[in-house]
Structure 1
Amino acid sequence: MLKRVLLLLLSLMLITTLLVGCGGGTTEPETPEETPEATQPEAEETAAIKMAMVTDVGGVNDQSFNQSAWEGHQKARNELGVEVNYVESNQDADYLPNLEQLYDAGYDLIWGIGFMMGDVILEAAEQNPDQKYAIIDNAYGDTPSNLVGVLFKAEEASFLVGYIAGKMTETGKVGFVGGMDFPVIHGFHYGFMAGVKHANPDVEVLVQYAGDFNDAAIGKAIAIQMYQSGADIVFHAAGGTGDGVIEAAREQGKYAIGVDRDQNDLAPDNVITSAMKRVDNAIFNIAEELKAGNFPGGGTVVYGLEDGGVGIAPTSDKHVPADILEETRAIEQQIIRGEIFVPDNEADYNANY
């Protein structure tokens, strides 16, 4: 009897052992610790390019090339995300300290607006070889690698507005008012005279330089004198001094031709066209190259009719007859193809016209 009981107990113990060995327990398996995901490094934010400009004495609201330059900066801010700023100069002595102020502020590219700043920009570039600089309306024989000069074939746009003036004058007299007697302004002067002569060789061109880019009173006085001498259209390349030319045209009921930007808004009934110099586009283009890592330092970039760097104002059709505008467009293509020579100095003008 005892032997049977012992055998039964042994059998029960064996069955229990087999059940446990086969996983018959009810304990849930431990959940393995989750392996943390590899932390991805955050994309490094690219710092915005910083670009600023120093105006000449005309100031940022000169209705001319300083204003156009600032519009180019604003376009770079809006379309390229460039951080922009400007410092105004009240006198020539402000140029160097203004450049130093922007250098100390850490701007990637510093612009000087106008050939009057040519020497100080060059000096700054040579003293700060790791700083990038650019200048409007100036070029150098030996340009440092951290500096780029930007020039415009202003004579080409001036030829076109000269042609318009030569075709539209009713008195046979037109005028040209220059700011200061410098080579940059000579391009406007002789390009305009060549365009007038191409349109009508019998038209007389009155010429006077104001000796200043920021004296509207002088510009007005010169223009009034020209109108009283029989001119009915006066073209200016004189910065803020040219504002006086346009004011005189409005008061005298005559025509004026603007410069650098479309100046029709200054006197909608009197500014018939403008010889535009697309400083805004040049500033934007250089900013775009800088952002792409292709700063064109060490040389000069030149813009003309062929690449849209100069041209006549889009509002020209308000006052210029359609047939004259059509002729002007044809002449533009002839200039681009090299079929018409456009002078930018007295010697070339005298030799060809």
Structure 2
Amino acid sequence: MKMRNFLMIVAMLFALSFVLVACGSSDDSEEGSNGDDTSEETDSGDSESSDEESGESSEEGSEGESASGDFSAAMVTDVGGVDDKSFNQSAWEGLQAFGDENGLTEGDGYAYAQSNSNGDYEPNLTRLTKQGYNLVFGIGFKLTDAITKVAQQNPDTNYALVDAVSEAENVANIVFKEHQGSFLAGVAAANKTESKQVGFVGGIDSPLINKFEAGFEAGVKSVDSSIEVEVQYAESFDDAARGRQIASSMYNSGIDVIYHAAGGAGNGVFNEAKDIKNNDPEAYVWVIGVDRDQYEEGAVTVDGTDYNVTLTSMVKRVDNAVVDVSTRAMEGDFPGGETIEYGLEDEGVSIARTNEEAFTEEIGTAVDEWQQKILDGEVEVPSTREDLETFLSEME
């Protein structure tokens, strides 16, 4: 009996030691797992901290850099808005195209912030920066001060400024040779006018819009120096009513072709021309659009017959520039501190030929001839009023 009890005790001790060994092994494994978990929690905590330091993207929502770490880009509009059918819209279409090409989703990989007043520029730029976008565009020269300030405060974020130059090292400056494209718009206007009176409606009287004005008048006068060119400014890029008022005055004075470089205010020019056409289908009134092909803006139907008052448009490929700079930034070749200029030679500006009925073959041939002269260096298109005066005096 004693021997039997002894064997039972030995067996129990053996079994207990096996259990203890197994438990010890399990504890070691769990301890290692806890260590890994602790590491993951630490990493996660660091990530959250990093997000907060880089702009509190975790608190702002999912509009910044995606969870997969994909490149992201955003833009801040000028007051004209993303649907101005002109400058801002072209930039947004470029950003959308970039997003589509690279599999990004709107609101995560790319987005825009609407500016309703000048006071919105800096807050919008700051918000997109905090949301973690890798590249933030400022659309329009009016954002220069705001983007320079925000860029200097956030040296680890890349920015791009359209139509002006910032001194910040992390800002890529995108400018265009608008005067070249406007010269060709002037050639088209000079070949289209019957009254020998054409008009130019600018947005804000500034060095940028003066480039459109100078190039346009130079193009008109190069074809026929006797043509009168009237210039007026709306002093706004979003006051369509003011644009319409100016256009009404011009058309009533005998002007039959108006070139606008006024953003949303230019919509008023189209509205006036279409209203005139609607009241009198035989009226000879034309509009030259700007920044993007504005052919659709000139469509009007009278008694079942379709008309279009858009002669042509000076297309400024803001969309292509946005795609180009975004791609370079994504590929690690961001041109920070550089100024990139797009002109006729690289199709940065061009003339739309959509309205084949109005933009005749004769006009197209004339435009092509003058374009070649510019590309060959035979014509140096003026970009300021001072240069225009010199240009015109040399023609005499």
What does residue 342 of structure 1 align with?
381
1:66-123, Cα deviation, whole Å (9 max, x unpaired) = 0000000011011123421001011111111111110110000000000000000001
Give 1:145 deviation, angstroms: 2.3
Q: Which amino acid aligns with 2:332?
A: G
Moved over 6 A (4+): none
Q: CA-to-partner distance for each residue in 1:243-296, whole Å, 9 max, x for gaps?
A: 000111112231111000001101131011001110000000001111221000
Of the two, which has the highest radius of gyration?
A: 1
Letter in 2 for 1:128: N
Residues 194, 349 of structure 1: 8 Å contact kept: yes
Give matches, 1:115-194, under 5 Å. Answer: 115-140=141-166, 143-194=167-218
Please state whether the residue corresponding to 1:208 is helix, strand or coil.
strand
Distance in structure 2 (CA, Å) of the matches to 1:317 and 1:146: 44
Choose from 326, 331, 343 the match for 2:370: 331
Q: State the Cα distance separating 1:318 from its structure 2 match.
A: 3.5
1:277 is aligned with what amino acid? K
Counterpart of 1:47?
A: 69
1:205 is matched by which residue type in structure 2? Answer: V
Structure 2: runs of 5+ lacking an equivalent: 1-66, 278-284, 300-307
Work out the CA distance in 1 between the residues paired with 2:268 and 2:102: 36
Measured in 1, the distance between the counterparts of 2:127 and 2:152 equals 16
Give the one of 204, 223, 239 matched to 2:263: 239
TM-score by length of 2: 0.76
1:306-342 deviations in whole A, cap 9, x for unaligned?
Answer: 0010011141433111022012112112111211111
| CA distance in 2 between partners of 1:155 and 1:187 (Å) | 5
Report which stretch shifted further, 242-251 or 311-320: 311-320
Q: CA deviation at 1:149?
A: 0.8
Partner of 1:206: 230
Which whole-Å CA distance do the structure 2 matches of 1:337 and 1:186 have between them? 24
User: Of the candidates 112, 127, 139, which is equivalent to residue 86 of structure 1?
Assistant: 112
In the alignment, structure 1 residue 56 sits paired with structure 2 residue 78: yes
Question: Which deviates the most, 318-327 or 64-73?
Answer: 318-327
Shift of 1:176: 0.3
Q: Would you say how many aligned residue pairs link Structure 1 and Structure 2?
A: 307
CA RMSD of aligned residues (A): 1.2
Aligned-partner residue type, residue 307 of structure 1: D
Aligned equivalents of 1:318 and 1:65: distance in 2? 26
Please state whether the residue corresponding to 1:185 is helix, strand or coil: helix
Could you report, residue by residue, the CA deviation over 1:21-61 in whole angstroms, capped at 9, with x for unpaired residues? xxxxxxxxxxxxxxxxxxxxxxxx97311000010111110
Counterpart CA distance in 1 for 2:165 and 2:290 is 21
Q: Assess if the C-alpha contact under 8 Å between 2:187 and 2:366 holds in 1.
A: no
Q: Report the residue type matching 2:165 in the other structure.
A: A
Kindly provide the amino acid, as one letter, of the partner of residue 311 in structure 1.
S
> What is the one-letter code of the residue matched to 1:238?
A
Conserved? CA contact 1:58–1:214, under 8 Å? yes
Q: State, as a whole percentage, how many aligned pairs show the same letter.
A: 46
Query: 2:338, 2:221 → 1: CA distance?
Result: 34
**Deviation readout 1:117-154 (Å, 9 max, x if unpaired):** 000000111111111100110114xx322111100101
Q: Deviations for 1:144-194, whole angstroms, at most 9, x for unmatched residues? A: 221111001011110001001011100010000000100000010010000
Q: Distance in 2 between matches of 1:112 and 1:94?
A: 12
Instruction: Pick from 239, 263, 276 the counterpart of residue 294 of structure 2.
Output: 263
In 2, Cα distance between equivalents of 1:75 and 1:50? 13
Q: 2:94 aligns with which of 45, 65, 72?
A: 72
Preserved contact between residue 48 and residue 81 of structure 1 (Cα < 8 Å): no
1:226 equivalent in alignment to 2:250:
yes
Q: Distance in 2 between matches of 1:251 and 1:144?
A: 46
Corresponding residue of 2:312: 273
How far apart, in 2, do the equivalents of 1:62 and 1:334 lie? 33
Task: List runs of 5+ in structure 1 lacking aligned partners.
Answer: 1-44
Residues 4-31 of structure 1 show CA distances to partners (whole Å, capped at 9, x for unaligned) of xxxxxxxxxxxxxxxxxxxxxxxxxxxx
Match of 1:109 in 2: 135
